[in-house]
Amino acid sequence: MHYFILIVLAPLFILQGKRVKRSAPRLAEAQGERAGQSGQGKPFSLLVFGDSAAAGVGVEHQSKALLGVVSQSLAELYQVNWRLLARSGYNTEKALRMLQKELLAAPELQLDAVVVSLGVNDVLSPLSAKTWIKQQRMLVELLTQQTGCQRLIITRVPPMGDFPLLPQPLRWFLGKRSQEFNRHLARYVASEPRCTLLDFGEQLDSKAMASDGFHPGAVIYQDWGQAAAKAILQHKQV
């Protein structure tokens, strides 16, 4: 149904998209180290991977971002060797290329867990949900085969229909499209024992978002990071 509406309202969506891109505030990625060590105990290697949300856009420092919250939560039990590999604006295809380059530069890298944040920029593109899932499969295979990781925490695409920055009816359309991507993602993860789907529900508190109305704020990062750490600890190794 929403693709029929896309055909009818395509000129309006294009116009609204251009206006949003031109007028949206440009927030920087969170400052701070992108690799380090926290805690004591058994060594545990963690990678946070993906797009601008993974990079901490919306908060000033990595300690308040996804990386900081996950690593500090795990550091209560482990000596966490953490690293961040993320870039603003990256879709899954670009993120895959970034990961391939990283693994070529560090072929010895071994990981105990990966937290993935990807999908928003794919929803914003003409990419189909089926093609996106193929890219997700490629990502999972690359990480497991090259790093030995058997715990991949895949974050659902956020409910873009709740993003305050987006005008109607573009917001409605992207909300429906993000739901479609998530349905495909849920089916894939259900068949993949190496993955856990991290679900924040179907609604988002717009007051908890960053000042740009598009990225997470500190409260969302805190909840997200704690949920990711819990999912890592509960995930059964293959």
CATH for 90: 3.40.50.1110
Give a yes or no: residue 3 inside a domain. no
Lookup: tokens for 106: 């560090």
Name the nearest CA neighbour of 117 among 157, 146, 88: 157
pLDDT at residue number 108 = 94
Cα–Cα distance measured from residue 89 to residue 39, given in angstroms and rounded to the nearest whole number:
32
Q: What is the mean predicted confidence (pLDDT) over 190-214?
A: 88
Cα–Cα distance measured from residue 155 to residue 120, given in angstroms and rounded to the nearest whole number:
11
Contacts of residue 157, Cβ cutoff 8 Å, sequence gap at least 6 = 119, 120, 122, 123, 178, 181, 182, 185
Is the pLDDT score of 4 beyond 80? no
- Mean predicted lDDT score pLDDT of the chain: 92
Q: What is the pTM of this model?
A: 0.93
Give a yes or no: residue 13 inside a domain. no
Cα–Cα distance measured from residue 123 to residue 199, given in angstroms and rounded to the nearest whole number:
17
pLDDT at residue number 2 = 60
More confident residue, 215 or 20: 215
Give a yes or no: residue 117 inside a domain. yes
Give a yes or no: residue 164 inside a domain. yes
Give a yes or no: residue 96 inside a domain. yes
Cα–Cα distance measured from residue 125 to residue 12, given in angstroms and rounded to the nearest whole number:
16
Give a yes or no: residue 114 inside a domain. yes
Instruction: Give 184's pLDDT tier (boundaries 50, 70, 90).
Output: very high
Give a yes or no: residue 17 inside a domain. no
Structural domain boundaries enclosing 211 = 37-234
Q: What is the mean predicted confidence (pLDDT) over 95-107?
A: 97
The conformation of residue 55, written as its DSSP 8-state character, comes to T
Q: How many domains does the chain have?
A: 1
The conformation of residue 50, written as its DSSP 8-state character, comes to E
Is the pLDDT score of 201 beyond 70? no
Sheet holding 113-117, edge to edge: 35-38, 79-86, 43-50, 113-117, 152-155, 195-198
Is residue 81 within 8 A of residue 71, CB to CB? The reply is: no
Give a yes or no: residue 137 inside a domain. yes
Instruction: Give 20's pLDDT tier (boundaries 50, 70, 90).
Output: confident
Is residue 196 within 8 A of residue 152, CB to CB? The reply is: yes
